[in-house]
Structure 1
């Protein structure tokens, strides 16, 4: 898997462009793999970072606005409490 720098706005835009490409072809949804590790912070396990949640909210907002009824299924890697 590529190690992308999600801190970079250009990377975020390319991710959104890739999602739009496939959605324009008519797919119904995405499984988003390794979500807890999109962003990296030293001194953390990288799970549950605010910037991860912010990016996923942005993705959801973009998809909801332009591709209603699309499914996003995120791998959480979190055990229930």
Structure 2
């Protein structure tokens, strides 16, 4: 089982798009918010379904900062 997981990780590193997703998801402190200032949620993935309705630019921030602003985790991701 561990060998299969290791091989999967190695293969992902050779594919640029999936490698960036692995890197992104490994940074648990990075979150994304809608830049309009009206959003009440933060998102773990910049391609989250909950951000589709955001008409402003998506902003990358920290989970701590988003929570200080009163934002909670998006319902699609919990």
Q: When the two structures are superposed, what TM-score results if normalisation uses the length of structure 1?
A: 0.28
| Bigger fraction of residues in strand | 2
Q: Which of the pair has the greater relative contact order for Cα pairs under 8 Å at 6+ separation? A: 1
Q: When the two structures are superposed, what TM-score results if normalisation uses the length of structure 2?
A: 0.29
